[in-house]
Structure 1
Amino acid sequence: MSRKITANLYMTIDGRGAFPKYPGSDRVTKTANALWREMWINRFDDVTTVIMGRRSFTGHRRVWTEKARTPDDPQYLVDYSRWLDRVEKVCLSTRLESPAWENSRIMKGDLSKIVARLKKEKGGNIIAEGGPRLILEFIRKDLAD
């Protein structure tokens, strides 16, 4: 059975792919909402690899490791950080030399070939978690399932 790839993209209604302090975008709630549960919690058991571009990877590495959690963080964020630390992370980059995050590796080259290689490797499903450029490439090349 082939590994399936889902492409995730966070985007505001006005088309922005980032959330630099937009009202409500960085608000933490005590419990996970339906979107969070569908995008992440419901996939903890079947996703074993997350693909990110360099900027998403370094941002996630800074914000989402278990070490970055505080005692006041809700449990679902702690669980997400633990899961993200545990799964394999693939950083697509020609600039980054070392991933500096456990269970991570850097891959460079043609995206179609990278995806084909990852799908042949053992493991569960894959999420492409990225900004607009990465996800647009997945769409253009018909790489997401």
Structure 2
Amino acid sequence: MRKVIVSVFVTLDGVQDDPQEWSLEYFTEEYGGYARDQLFAADALLMGRVTYQGFAESWPSITDEGSPQEGFADRINTMPKYVASTTLRELAWTNSRLIEGDVVDAVRTLKRQPGLDILMYGCGDLARLLARQGLVDEIRLWIHPVVLGRGEHLFTGWSETRMRLAGTRTFGSGVVVQTHEPLR
């Protein structure tokens, strides 16, 4: 069965919103390589409306030309993208599909299909819903060494969820990726 992997950028004080405002200064070749490996270990993206709109606004115009993450832009732009939204009607980003009907059932069906991991960027309403239903297999916290003191905090609105630390990766920039698996 395929895994749903939630990958989220977060500050030391647990803020997850607007990562482009505070995460870019920590980007290094090893950080980019890890992000690339994570993307290439998946063959589908799963997104809520907010993440989809942010990504769809920027990624279609990004190419791999001169990028240290060779193939990343091409991969993210062409891979299947499943979007959970009750308000969007049209999806312009290449290979994007709106999830019709029950999101939980749709994700269960996706997980049963053959393939690689299903990658989900961000940890908002959709991640909360899927976690409550036991459909999130890993959460990767990209902890950046910055304190904002304001913003939307990670796991706001989650119910109690016990986790097992499954791994860590530390980059020279000070970013630490912690991989957690929900205990079931």
Q: Shorter-chain-normalised TM-score: which range?
A: 0.7 to 0.9
1:70 to 1:102, Cα distance in 2 relative to 1, 3 A = closer
Q: Secondary structure of 1:9's match?
A: strand
Alignment match, 1:75: 68
Cα 1:135–1:97 change in 2 (3 A) is same
Match of residue 96, structure 1, among 88, 108, 118:
88
Q: Are 1:17 and 1:132, in contact at CA under 8 Å, matched by a contact in 2? A: no
- Provide the residue aligned with 1:46 in structure 2: 41
Q: How many residues align?
A: 137
Report the RMSD for the aligned CA atoms in angstroms: 2.5
Q: Deviations over 1:34-61 (max 9, x none)?
A: 4x433x3223443110101011011011
C-alpha displacement at 1:27, in angstroms? 2.9
Identity percentage over the alignment? 25
What is the TM-score normalised by the length of structure 1?
Answer: 0.77
Alignment of 1:5-44 (within 5 A): 5-19=4-18, 22=21, 24-27=22-25, 29=27, 31-34=28-31, 36-38=32-34, 40-44=35-39
Question: CA offsets per residue over residues 65-100 of structure 1, 9 Å max, x none?
Answer: 3x23496x6331x63211101211011101111110
Gaps of at least 5 residues in structure 1 are: none
- One-letter amino acid of the counterpart of residue 91, structure 1: V
| Contact 1:9–1:132 (Cα < 8 Å) also in 2 | no
- Cα offsets for 1:93-131 (capped at 9, x unmatched): 011111101111011443321211112334322112223
State the secondary structure of the residue aligned to 2:24.
Answer: coil
- What is the aligned partner in structure 1 of residue 52 from structure 2? 57
Structure 1 match to 2:181: none
Pick closer, same or farther for the CA change 1:116–1:10 going to 2, 3 Å: same
Cα separation, 1, equivalents of 2:100 and 2:14: 28
- Specify the structure having the higher radius of gyration (Cα): 2
**Is the contact made by 1:62 and 1:68 (CA closer than 8 Å) also made in structure 2?**
no
Distance, in Å, in 2 between the alignment partners of 1:3 and 1:20 is: 27
Structure with greater helix share of residues: 1
Q: 1:74 to 1:135 in 2, by over 3 A?
A: same
Name the one with the larger strand percent: 2
Go from structure 1 to structure 2 and tell me whether the alpha carbon gap of 1:28 and 1:62 turns closer, same or farther (over 3 Å shift).
farther
Structure 2: stretches of 5+ with no match in the other structure: 138-184
Distance in structure 2 (CA, Å) of the matches to 1:21 and 1:104: 23
CA contact (8 A) 2:29 2:68 kept: no
Would the aligned equivalents of 2:2 and 2:118 in 1 still touch at CA under 8 Å?
Answer: yes
